[in-house]
A and B are shown apart, each in its own frame.
Chain A
């Protein structure tokens, strides 16, 4: 296995973890926006408690992806950030507003109208950012063209992403994040009324996620032929779809039977497999069609030391990460199964 492929695999793993952790933080913002009625205050508190201690650590996975991209695939990073300048900027504004507005609302010692408006801003940017992220990922699968003579990206900064397929992916990412958040929040709620609410929301958003996936798949036939081809006819595609579909069905069934632990495990597996499937369908491209993994890679003399540094860093990082999760997420779950 080449060093470039190993780095690409690490990037994919980081994206999976980002989806499972930070994705759910964004999803929490979506549910914050939809909190209504008598339980609204309790829902806000639950979402606060779930997000506050960990969102910054979860966010770092995105930074890891960016750093690995520019260190190990510098030409592709430069090309992608040139043609996708606009959706990336929108995503950044969303990232900035989400993080700061959430913190401002949570740390206002005299919460009143101001805190309520920040809360609203946090929720709206939680809605906007996943869509922009999906648009970027969708465009990376379709329209990053490179002029073979100059080696530079070509395009008008708009047509690469202003297409149905990237927006279908954006919708799908939003639905998936909201679904994950709902499934997690069942666990973190310490009151049965809230659990009932989030079980129902998880079921609804789970079905919507399936619908959005189907929509993206249909649009991909025209809009992202290479991805579509990979998803339909590659050797791995049928088994992967079967397992992903099975995980989705198990999750919905477990939600119905109130087997919350099982539902969470199945939903996480489902989300992870979706991201992995997208990565496999991209192979051997990093950005379709301009940059392949091997073609865009930095010299091996750069890749191996960076991989070694990653491995060494993980030895420090992983125990710390496990400790963080244990401190804040290890609460007894009552009413399970």
Chain B
């Protein structure tokens, strides 16, 4: 395996792994705060039990997120020293602020998880709100840095290095807000659906229904609302890509020729050798409308760009299709859930819907992984769009397949351990007699 590919593999793996834990750090605090708030308002002890159960799962996930995030901040230098020597100062502001946001998140999560008996009820709920805010902020800051790689600004190029750096302009680049919004809604959607699926499965098995019904209600409400918001924020992000990275949009759509009134393609397989996209269902003129709010607007095709400045088209297009399909499926399930509520039927009493929720539960995470594949692969061959190629950024260190293999094994092991532990946490929720107190 060549070293550049190994470095890209390790970075992709580290991001794909970390992101699952990062979204849990954003989504779970919302679910826990809602449960605790409902307990305080209604005095229903099931909600208190729920907040405590959820907080145990969150503690496991947050710990893995904290350490895998550390790996990423080191890997920026270990794998991409050329990138960091150039970009480090320019994207310094979001990274510095992210440090503080993460610090606050860690502090208040410690208080939330371990402070049930040590701080007042009001302070406890406030700590949960702080975790929610700082977790989301921390994600938004990291996204500002990623957005800068897509729409770099806030510096002048002098002798190949940045000068006259404007930190705020770099941080608040055109892609920051669209990326941040889209990721926030997607994270709440993914966590809501994943948690709803766990509790729906428990309900189908007939376990402690009072507990799981409340859990399902909160998680599905959050996931369902976010499932409708995410396409909206995604639309904002797509418009942004159309204006600033037309070649990425062309790859996402498998659009080879410049075209007025370009169609939106569903499915389809781009053939990069023959430069065609086959087997696609084309919706006439819709792409032009979505990208530029004009049915006859011209969309640039891949052929307009030099071959060595195009991203891998098939991967980008397929990942984009996976994201869209997963998103639509979740919207559909959310709509059915809304319909059931309108008809005054309890979710817990409609086994068909519960089964659908179980089936849909991994889709949010799938959509997020696919969406990140679109963003990152779609930016290739650049690490900083039109400024620095990924190949120029990589470390001269040889034998990079060794750390790549090491981290792959490490993350497989951690992933398996997390799954086992979360299953146990869910199981003891219904079998409290099996739980062994640690203290």
B109: nearest chain-A partner, CB-CB: A56
Say yes or no: B70 contacts A62, CB within 8 Å: yes
Query: Would you list which residues of chain B between 148 and 200 have a CB under 8 Å from chain A?
Result: 163-168
Say yes or no: A110 contacts B92, CB within 8 Å: no
CA A310 to CA B406, docked complex, whole Å: 35
Say yes or no: B425 contacts A299, CB within 8 Å: no
B76 contacts the other chain (Cβ, under 8 Å)?
Answer: yes
Known interface pairs A88-B74, A92-B71; A320-B96 also in contact (CB < 8 Å): no
CA A171 to CA B59, docked complex, whole Å: 32
Contact with B along A298-318 (1 / 0, CB 8 A): 110110011001100100110
The one of A81, A107, A324 in contact with B59, judged by C-beta atoms closer than 8 angstroms, is A107
Contact with B along A143-160 (1 / 0, CB 8 A): 000000000000001000
Say yes or no: A80 contacts B77, CB within 8 Å: yes
B48 contacts the other chain (Cβ, under 8 Å)?
Answer: no
CB contacts (< 8 Å) of B76 on chain A: these are: 70
CB contacts (< 8 Å) of A96 on chain B: these are: 67-68, 70-71, 410, 414
CA A74 to CA B110, docked complex, whole Å: 32
Give, as a whole number of angstroms, the nearest-CB distance from A251 to chain B: 28
CA A81 to CA B79, docked complex, whole Å: 8
Say yes or no: A310 contacts B107, CB within 8 Å: no
CB contacts (< 8 Å) of B88 on chain A: these are: 70-71, 74, 77-78, 298
CB contacts (< 8 Å) of A77 on chain B: these are: 77, 81, 84-85, 88
Contact with A along B86-123 (1 / 0, CB 8 A): 11111111011111101110111111011100110000
Interface size class of A (residues with CB under 8 A): 35 or more
Say yes or no: A56 contacts B63, CB within 8 Å: yes
CB contacts (< 8 Å) of A321 on chain B: these are: 103, 107
Query: Would you list which residues of chain A between 60 and 100 have a CB under 8 Å from chain B?
Result: 60, 62-64, 66-68, 70-72, 74-75, 77-82, 85, 88-89, 92-93, 95-100
Say yes or no: A103 contacts B397, CB within 8 Å: no
A301: nearest chain-B partner, CB-CB: B165
Give, as a whole number of angstroms, the nearest-CB distance from B90 to chain A: 8
Say yes or no: B77 contacts A81, CB within 8 Å: yes
Say yes or no: B84 contacts A78, CB within 8 Å: yes
Contact with A along B261-294 (1 / 0, CB 8 A): 0000000000000000000000000000000000
CB contacts (< 8 Å) of B91 on chain A: these are: 71
CA A299 to CA B85, docked complex, whole Å: 13
Say yes or no: B97 contacts A313, CB within 8 Å: yes
Give, as a whole number of angstroms, the nearest-CB distance from B257 to chain A: 41
CA A54 to CA B69, docked complex, whole Å: 17
CB contacts (< 8 Å) of B421 on chain A: these are: 104, 107-108
Say yes or no: A89 contacts B78, CB within 8 Å: yes
CB contacts (< 8 Å) of A62 on chain B: these are: 70
Say yes or no: A306 contacts B417, CB within 8 Å: no
Known interface pairs A78-B84, A96-B71; A71-B92 also in contact (CB < 8 Å): yes
The one of B89, B118, B168 in contact with A74, judged by C-beta atoms closer than 8 angstroms, is B89
Say yes or no: A92 contacts B70, CB within 8 Å: yes
